[in-house]
């Protein structure tokens, strides 16, 4: 819990990220005198937050970065009844359909519109060749490079129970990346079934085209930014999403009124969903479709490292 003279959420998220503390939920409250109370519900990747040394380290680093704007900073154990995934998203059917749609649109009226240069994503090429190795299948990928590309590929292969024996990664050339991966199924055999090959290639193309879902929707009278990413089989979500979204919004001059992280299940997978209620007191008309597309584009670019 931290109390500030002025909004400092972006600095807090940066420090927490550097300390390997994962943000599960955030509540932001602004008092009439302009002060801000931020409640961050966090978990520790190092599993040491129960120790006084780890708690003192976190508070000291926060105070050091925040300086005089920080009125108070303290760590408390959340109530035993609190469940970090209790925010299982109660998304409306309309929002859910739009957020988890498998296609990015070229139409300007769609909340997941692709800007002109991002359409290059659709040019990803994934092929399989069983002729070059007696014991392994060669998976060849040519695509536009992005932050977390290897993570997205490895996560997908793990979902399909596929092991990598050897890999070769090219240098990034004009924003493109080429990968050669020699792979096997868990039983040590090559992937020879045409249906399995097709399913794997299609899934990899989708994960490279659309690894994160970003839209803006109405939540009653408020404007809400939603970001979703697939949950790994281990139950973990994508790293640094909260931090990078706050970076993008800060660049645009948009403040976050409140934020929360929950889980949402679709027919074939579980998603981690970040929900940000945006402060209407900014230079943008948040109800404008063009403005919303600009915000979505900026957030997606930041998450993808462009």
The pLDDT tens digits for 150-191 are: 999 999 999 899 999 999 988 777 788 899 999 999 999 999
Q: Higher pLDDT residue, 39 or 212? A: 212
The pLDDT tens digits for 81-108 are: 555 544 455 788 889 888 887 655 554 4
Residues in contact with 96: Cβ distance below 8 Å, sequence separation at least 6, in sequence order: 264, 266
Cα 266–Cα 268–Cα 272 angle in degrees, nearest 5: 50
Band of the pLDDT at 112, cuts 50, 70, 90?
Answer: low
Number of residues that this document lists for the chain: 306
pTM over 0.75: yes
Cβ 229 vs Cβ 244: under 8 Å: no
Closest CA to 23 of 12, 33, 31: 12
Query: C-alpha distances in angstroms, 266 versus 103, 113, 140, 152, 262?
Result: 16, 22, 29, 19, 13
pLDDT at 32: 64
The proportion of the chain whose per-residue pLDDT surpasses 70, expressed as a percent, equals 84
pLDDT at 53: 92
Average pLDDT score over residue span 125-138: 95
User: How many Cα neighbours within 13 Å face the side chain of 84?
Assistant: 15
pLDDT at 3: 47
Distance, in Å, from the CA atom of 192 to the CA atom of 120, rounded to the nearest integer, reads 30
Query: C-alpha distances in angstroms, 134 versus 14, 181, 189?
Result: 48, 14, 10
Residues in contact with 239: Cβ distance below 8 Å, sequence separation at least 6, in sequence order: 151
């Amino acid at each position: 819990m931290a109390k500030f003279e002025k909004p400092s959420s972006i600095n807090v998220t940066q420090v927490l990220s550097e300390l390997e503390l994962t943000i599960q939920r955030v509540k932001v409250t602004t008092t009439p005198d302009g002060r801000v109370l931020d409640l961050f519900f966090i978990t520790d990747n190092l599993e040491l937050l129960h120790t006084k040394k780890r708690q003192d380290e976190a508070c000291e680093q926060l105070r050091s970065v925040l300086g005089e704007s920080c009125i108070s900073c303290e760590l408390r154990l959340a109530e035993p009844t609190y469940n970090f995934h209790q925010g299982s998203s109660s998304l409306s059917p309309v929002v859910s359909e739009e957020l988890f749609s498998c296609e990015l649109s070229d139409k300007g009226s769609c909340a997941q519109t692709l800007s002109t240069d991002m359409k290059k994503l659709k040019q990803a090429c994934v092929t399989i060749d069983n002729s070059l190795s007696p014991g392994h299948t060669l998976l060849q990928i040519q695509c536009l490079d992005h932050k977390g590309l290897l993570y997205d590929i490895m996560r997908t292969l793990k979902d399909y129970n596929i092991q990598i024996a050897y890999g070769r990664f090219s240098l990034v050339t004009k924003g493109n990346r080429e990968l050669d991966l020699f792979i096997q199924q868990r039983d040590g055999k090559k992937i020879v079934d045409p249906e399995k090959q097709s399913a794997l290639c299609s899934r990899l193309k989708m994960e490279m085209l659309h690894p994160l879902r970003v839209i803006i929707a109405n939540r009653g009278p408020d404007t809400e930014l939603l970001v979703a990413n697939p949950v790994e089989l281990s139950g973990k979500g994508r790293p640094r999403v909260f931090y990078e979204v706050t970076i993008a919004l800060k660049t645009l001059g948009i403040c976050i009124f409140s934020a929360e992280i929950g889980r949402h299940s679709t027919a074939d997978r579980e998603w981690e969903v970040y929900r940000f209620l945006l402060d209407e007191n900014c230079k943008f008309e948040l109800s404008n479709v063009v403005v919303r597309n600009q915000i979505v584009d900026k957030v997606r670019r930041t998450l993808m490292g462009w």
